[in-house]
């Protein structure tokens, strides 16, 4: 019998009951786990597009994977080729340092953290798939961020090595080609260091 999990009218899943269930199962086997969530789940938490899974950094193992599968089956949130909670993101990015994360749930055997939105922007620009650049553009647009050189400096301070052309592509998607042309004209000297 599948348990119910709340999804809004857009199909955005509230994963808190699954995290609570994960904590219960961890308690049974006497194991603790820390998750550092990123990707679409963090976007969803900040009011952007929803996600159907949770990408997180965590120590995987047979027992943990079995519990994750069991919970996903109970709630009907596993996909055919992917569990509702997975750590495949660790293949694309290193685990973020603590100062770039916030705790969103703390249970007896489970701590769920999430990267902050600025760090998520760096992760998405590092991977730079089409959807990642579009996600960054939506963040820049909503935050009314029109300072790519400042953002580049912040991301550099977080340890990211971002290609400025990808960053500017996201800004162009957020603010338009006219804005980008003006930016190039007004920042020619500063941009030379990135050539």
Indicate if 53 and 22 belong to the same structural domain. Answer: yes
Residue 194: per-residue pLDDT: 85
Q: Is the confidence at residue 4, as pLDDT, over 90?
A: no
User: Is the Cα torsion angle 113, 116, 119, 124 positive or negative in sign?
Assistant: positive
User: Two tokens at 4?
Assistant: 């119910």
Q: Is the confidence at residue 90, as pLDDT, over 60?
A: yes
Residue 147 lies in a domain: yes
Q: How confident is the model at residue 6 (pLDDT cuts 50, 70, 90)?
A: low
When mean pLDDT is compared across 12-21, 132-141, 165-174, the lowest value belongs to 12-21
What's the rounded Cα separation, in Å, for the pair 82 and 137?
27
The answer to whether residue 100 is domain-embedded is yes
- Order of strands, sheet of 101-106, starting from the edge strand that comes earlier in the sequence: 85-86, 54-57, 33-38, 110-115, 101-106
> Domain check: are 56 and 104 in the same one?
yes
What pLDDT does 1 receive?
44
Digit-coded pLDDT (tens) for 15-67: 999 999 999 999 999 999 999 999 999 999 988 887 889 999 999 999 999 99
Decide if 157 is inside a domain: yes
DSSP per-residue string spanning 53-88: SEEEE----HHHHHHHHHHHHHHT--BTTB-SEE-G
Residues 44 and 135 reside in one and the same domain: no
In a domain, 156, yes or no: yes
Q: What is the reported pLDDT for 52? A: 83
**Residues 75, 2 contacting (CB under 8 angstroms):** yes
Please count the structural domains in the chain.
2
Judgement on whether residues 56 and 124 belong to the same structural domain of the protein: no
Final residue of a domain: which of 100, 115, 130?
115
In terms of domains, do 24 and 61 share one? Answer: yes
Mean pLDDT of the chain: 92
Cα first-last separation, the chain: 59
Residues 6+ apart with CB under 8 A from 152: 162, 164, 167
Is it the case that residue 145 has pLDDT exceeding 50?
yes
Give, in degrees to the nearest 5, the angle at Cα 47 between 172 and 5.
140
Residue 8's pLDDT band, with cuts at 50, 70 and 90, is low
Which domain does 61 fall in, by range? 16-115
pTM here is 0.87
Identify the band that residue 126 occupies on the pLDDT scale cut at 50, 70 and 90. very high
């Amino acid at each position: 019998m599948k348990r119910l999990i709340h999804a809004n009218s857009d199909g955005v899943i509230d994963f808190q009951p699954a995290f609570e269930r994960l904590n219960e199962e961890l308690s049974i086997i006497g194991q603790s786990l820390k998750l550092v969530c990123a990707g679409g789940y963090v976007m969803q938490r900040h009011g952007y597009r929803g996600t159907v899974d949770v990408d997180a950094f965590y120590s995987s193992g047979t027992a943990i994977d079995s519990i994750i599968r069991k919970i996903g089956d109970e709630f009907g949130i596993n996909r055919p080729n992917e569990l509702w909670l997975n750590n495949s993101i660790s293949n694309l990015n290193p685990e973020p340092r603590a100062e770039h994360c916030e705790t969103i749930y703390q249970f007896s055997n489970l701590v769920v953290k999430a990267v902050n939105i600025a760090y998520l922007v760096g992760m998405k620009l590092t991977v730079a798939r089409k959807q990642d650049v579009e996600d960054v553009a939506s963040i820049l647009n909503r935050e009314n961020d029109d300072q790519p050189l400042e953002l580049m400096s912040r991301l550099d301070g977080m340890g990211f090595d971002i290609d400025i052309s990808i960053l500017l592509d996201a800004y162009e998607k957020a603010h338009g080609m006219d804005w980008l042309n003006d930016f190039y004209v007004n920042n020619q000297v500063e941009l030379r260091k990135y050539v």
